[in-house]
Each structure stands twice: as C-alpha cells, then as structure tokens.
Structure 1
Amino acid sequence: MLSGGEARGGGAGIPAVPPLLGRAAVQRLVPHQGAMCLLDAIAAWDAERIAALALSHRDPRNPLRRDGALPAVCGVEYALQAMAAHGALRASGRAQPAGYLSSLRGVELAAERLDDLAGPLLVRAEALATEARGFIYRFAVEGGGRRLLAGQAAILLPGKE
C-alpha cells in the first residue's frame, strides 16, 4: 500500500487523503522549475511506487501546449517527473541529477489530449528495476475516471553509462 492510503471504490482513483507533499516540496524534488514543473502534489509513495497529482494540464500557459491543446503524449513528461520525485524521495528527499530517457515501451494512448479534462490528473509510477546507472518504471496517467496513457520508461543517469 502506498503511504497516505488511497480511496477504495470512489473518487476515480484519486487518493482520499490530503497530499503528503505540496507543490513547493515537489519543486525541490524534481529538476524542472517554474511552469515546467508539472506536478502539484505527491499524494502517496512507498519504496516501489508513487502517486502524484497535477492540475497544470488545464493551465493555458502550460509550456507543453501546442496550438492551444495539450496532446495526451505529453503525459509521458508528467510520468517522468513523478519518477524523478520518487527517486529523490527514496534518496531521503535529495534531488537527484536529471536522468535521460533511454526508451519507452508499450506506450498506449487512450485519449487525444489532456487539457480537456476538468479534474486533476493522477500520475502513477512503479519502479520495476533500480540500479546505480538507471531505472525502469511502469507508469500510468489517469483522469476523468479513466486511464489516459500508460507504458514503461527506462532512465539512464548521467555519468553512469
């Protein structure tokens, strides 16, 4: 079970308790700052998993928007930031060096865009493998009571090739 607990049978999978960490704390955990920090809160986490919340998909100033829309594939960046936050939390809250996306596998898109969802995005990531030189995570982005995209990402850490 993730730290902080989660709702059972309601709330479209959104954690039922107040967030463990707010936006200011998230910005200390991820390498992205300002508008490029897409996550608003960490709802729950444990050694293997993290659940984060985001509202930035509705912001007209979201830096990932193109032609007035936020394509669903941009949810991958939300997931990558959740992975970075998870790595920092596992390292006692110390932000880690920015990693490099080395591969995406099995990515499934079930939506065209993210900005047309009224409620928050729930971003989940689960570490499948953690090594000194990188990580492999399974991820999912949910909103409006449904899964919007999911897949697997491999991250290489700098200087660890």
Structure 2
Amino acid sequence: MLMGQSEIASRIPHQGSMCLLQEVQAMDADHIICATRTHLDPANPMREGGRMGAALGIEYAAQAMALHCALQQPQGERPRGGYLTSVRDVQLLADVLDAIPEPLSVRAERIAASEQTAMYQFTIHAGERLLLQGRIAAVLDVAAAHVS
C-alpha cells in the first residue's frame, strides 16, 4: 500500500464518510489504482434506499481522478476543488456494488490534462470482474478559474 485513507483524505476535498477510497495500491505519472471496501458499509452516504447502484462507481472514479491530480501538485498545497464537466461512454456491467463482497479496484488513467482541466478513462473491478468503465472530465480549481 502506497497511501492509506487518512493520507488520501488530506489530498482531496472529499472528507469524512465521503472519502470513499481507502488505499492507493499503485500509481505513476499517468495512472492510479485505488482499493476500497466502502461500498459494503451500510452507512455509506452514497446509498439510496439501502443500495449502492453501479452508477455510483462514477463517484469512486472521480475521487481517484481528483487524488491523482492532487498527487501531481507539490506536497503541502491545499486540495484543489473542481467539478465534473462530462461523463461519457459509461458501461455498467453490474446492477449494484454493495452485493459484491470483494474490494473494489478503481483504476484511472489520465488521457489529457492542463492547469485547469483533466480527462481520465476509468475502470472499476472486483477481482478480475469488470463492473463499470467510462471517461470523466473535470474543471479543476474552480475558485482560480473565476478571475474578474
């Protein structure tokens, strides 16, 4: 394990129970692989009607993307806020996440990035089983983008 949940939370804006990733297993300049079991937590704030629909995996991927972007910044800088601008080519290959007892492996690969935008392709697996995949794009550091 390269990084645990408390270190992850110190690098992204998602705090408390909304920090869904529990560890970083591998990373380099273009990729990150995170693991988590938070999809099994009955108190997970993403649950709707007691279930975790597979589409909620997009939030796991977005947090992996945010973490990877944050890890490209110098140590000690504040976490950058942002918002998703698009989610494309999503393929849901499972109905729900909470029925899967294995840890989730959240993999994000940077396709393109600039100072204020990022685009990643992602996959979420349980073991060898692919649960969902797609692409996400975001605008980063929203406060800095609003210059008068």
When normalised by structure 1's length, the TM-score is: 0.85
Q: Which amino acid aligns with 1:80?
A: A
Q: State the one-letter code of the partner of 2:90.
A: V
What is the aligned partner in structure 2 of residue 160 from structure 1? 145
Name the structure 2 match of 1:115. 98
Checking the alignment, whether the CA contact within 8 Å between 2:10 and 2:79 is kept in structure 1 is: no
* Higher share in strand: 2
Corresponding position of 2:19: 37
Give 1:160 shift: 2.7
- How many percent identity over aligned positions? 41
Aligned-CA RMSD value: 1.2
Query: Contact 1:132/1:160 (CA < 8 Å) preserved in 2?
Result: no
Q: Which region of structure 1 is more displaced relative to structure 2, 141-150 or 112-121?
A: 141-150
Letter in structure 2 aligned against 1:142: H
Can you give the 5+ residue segments of structure 1 that lack an aligned partner in the other structure? 1-18
Instruction: Give the Å deviation of 1:95.
Output: 4.4
Q: Cα offset for 1:145? A: 2.5
Q: CA deviation at 1:105?
A: 0.9
Q: What residue ranges of structure 2 are gaps of 5+ in the alignment?
A: none
1:96 counterpart = 2:82 = no
Q: Aligned residues, how many?
A: 143
CA distance, structure 2, for counterparts of residue 92 and residue 77 of structure 1: 25
Amino acid at match of 1:47: A
Quick one: which of 55, 71, 84 aligns to 2:66? 84
Deviations along 1:66-125, whole A, 9 cap, x unmatched? 111100000000000001110111113444321110001100000000001111100000
State the 1:30 CA deviation: 1.2
8 Å CA contact retained: 1:39, 1:53: yes
Aligned to 1:6: none
- The TM-score, its normalising length taken from structure 2, stands at 0.92
Counterpart selection for 1:151 from 116, 125, 134: 134
SS across alignment from 1:77: helix
Residue pair 1:87, 1:96 contacting (<8 A) in 2 also: no
Q: For residues 47-58 of structure 1, what are the structure 2 equivalents within 5 Å?
A: 47-58=29-40
